[in-house]
Structure 1
């Protein structure tokens, strides 16, 4: 029987004893490792097929665990019979092209040349370029870990290839292109949001697809400007955000660390009283919403409160400043986990980075940012285990988008 030589890494870099991997890494189960070995037995390039098989199976397991409601199917019989395509995965009308790689030491990643050509192999599988994401999974085979390194729209990479064909380095032996990692989004939680909330573009002939303007997936935002009009946009509704009543009156009510569920409206009154002690004055015109969600084994709650200066409603051409107060807590009193972290970014950098210290008696993490109408703010929440959730960016537009 032919066996896979796991020492044959194709000249790729191995993990040294002095290196560490990110906490976001995914442990590879024995089943995945065994399936990957079996799937690569008859391959011409055993090592790359082995990496691709691990990456494919890892993404399948990750999608099932993180978002079991996503519409995708794996034919276990085809996988057992080694007939599965170890790159393409159909999810909610989108196509994921999954590529496995060994640990990357620089800021470039190798992509097979054939997948960057619109006519091959995408069109042969009748895939719409606009609905295809390329997902890079870094495999730490020797310690049985995998890391979702990043993802990118296929059209973005093809455009980059066309614009810089002269400058791109192509390995004629491996038939690959080296592309900058900066083209890939390194927050896999965003991929989940896109798969859950974006609508696939209707399949069109390849000739017409190339003439369509690219779809900007970064436009998946929460429009808080509508909150001031007692409205939620479709994205907020799909993500189960809830507007809170406007007739609240901040008042101080001591909260004890005991178990039990609590009313979001009553809790918000307590929160506003506490933030006043932090020199944050929430005006009566502010509007708040909250979202309950599960992160790992924790049931958390995020409050978002928005307000703007006075001229936004009377002068829509103006560019008012708007403020966003974010408060992270838990759905039951006293269960917010130590080490939970909340980061707030604008389009360029991290603005606020809060983490709950084990010695802290706080029940919440707070963050408050202010910007003009052109600015958006994204929020990432993570646990010490490495599980992370990145929300769609918060934006402020008084009119529906």
Structure 2
């Protein structure tokens, strides 16, 4: 009996090697898959990311050979984004023409069931038009497109079978639910209208859901610092939904698992939730002498273009003098830079926060911007001794600057640089319980007409 089983396995292997449907994976693509996997710490997820990479490259080759008129867009593909690849065990958000495709990498299809992540079935952010089985034959450096099922068909079969998710956030799907003729997938991708497969809408209250779960998540998320932890082991599905639909939270978890835990974790998490859930102030509009509605709501006031220093002491004149000092210290500020200020009241102390922004010109990355912050008082007095200025981004507390009591500082200065998709949260505090959090700063320089 064992010999018969061995012979059957060898026949299956021979078929896979000889099958005209097999797609070869090049050595360069294998290296790329290794590079993707090297960004993941957990051993099993590292291997899964490697297999997912091979599945993606093989599927692209398969499409190129059979339907080169179909456009493949991989920019949002989960396996190419480390924070998502670290958490999602399939290849989601791949765009083929007007369709979203999810690749389900498998080994040789000996079993009668396929394990599919609940994330790509029940979360609209990841739901595709088509789920595609990809047999990855890693040792043979090849893969076979083995079958597919549309989202609509999956929903119909799930309802009829009353299929429920497992405790590890997976569905066990019968293999015979899938159409094993890959040519039918090509036909659908070429001829079907995308709106013929209705996808679920993304709820508009995602941020609100995160806010309601904030205290619970702040308590639970630190447990996920270990690369060995899985989200389903720590979080309920509702809590997991809040995390998986918030890229910043997923990125925070990924970053924590890649580095040594730090003492500022709790503060970082609180700032992260504010960055994720609060509307952001667009300082890019300042370059066009415009304040967005949020800046107007919080009483920011635009400063005029900078000219040589004149007599003191209006806010414009004061900031001009501050900028002159910074330029003398070597800080280069282009003439295109624009600034604004806001008066704050912290524990009865009148403060003034100046902010200045400009687009950084860089050959390596054209989408860089900088935010210069200057914190002082409106009364020209020295700053309180316990005053602190903190700046956070989506991954960590970037800096927390205090007063040098020996120098009797009149201002706190700081400057941060980010990409156009990065936001910065600025907080001013005396002690932990007395703090002002400003709306996040973001930068989209396109003019609103």
TM (norm. structure 1) is 0.44
Q: Which has more radius of gyration? A: 2
More helix by share: 2
Choose between structure 1 and 2 for higher RCO, CA contacts under 8 A separated by at least 6 residues: 1
TM (norm. structure 2) is 0.40
